[in-house]
Every structure is written in structure tokens, then in C-alpha cells.
Amino acid sequence: MTSLLFLIPAALFLGLLGLAAYLWALKSGQFEDLDGAAARILLDDDEDIPSDKD
């Protein structure tokens, strides 16, 4: 029974911490362009880099 005195506040703290992290990610625009990130991985952006071997 005494372990509940520690577990309940710890669970509430972790829940609030997760909620704060979610709200921060939502505010900073992490969920704005979900389809764009999936499409960008398919694009080939390897460009020829000129070498300095002259």
C-alpha cells in the first residue's frame, strides 16, 4: 500500500511530462507536413560535388 504513495505521483508526473512534450512538438510544427517527409526520402538529392584535385 505504501508503494502506491510513490507510484501514483510518479505516474502523474510522467504523464504530465509526456503531455508537455506532445504540446511542445505540436507548437513547434513537428506535425505540419507528414506526407512531405515520406515523399522526400524517395527523392535523389545527391549532387556531383566538384573535387579539388586539379
| Boundaries of every domain in the chain | 2-29
Q: What is the mean pLDDT of residues 10-36?
A: 93
User: In angstroms, rounded to a whole number, what is the distance separating the alpha carbons of residues 48 and 29?
Assistant: 32
Of the two residues 44 and 4, the one the predictor is more confident about is 4
pTM: 0.60
Residue that is written with C-alpha cell 510522467 in the block = 14
The set of cell numbers assigned to 52 is 579539388
User: In angstroms, rounded to a whole number, what is the distance separating the alpha carbons of residues 52 and 43?
Assistant: 27
- How far apart, in Å, are the Cα atoms of 29 and each of 5, 16, 34, 37, 47? 37, 20, 10, 13, 29
The reported pLDDT for the residue numbered 39 is 81
Q: 32-51: per-residue pLDDT in tens? A: 887 887 787 787 766 666 66
The reported pLDDT for the residue numbered 48 is 62
Question: How much is the CA Rg of the chain, to the nearest whole Å?
Answer: 23
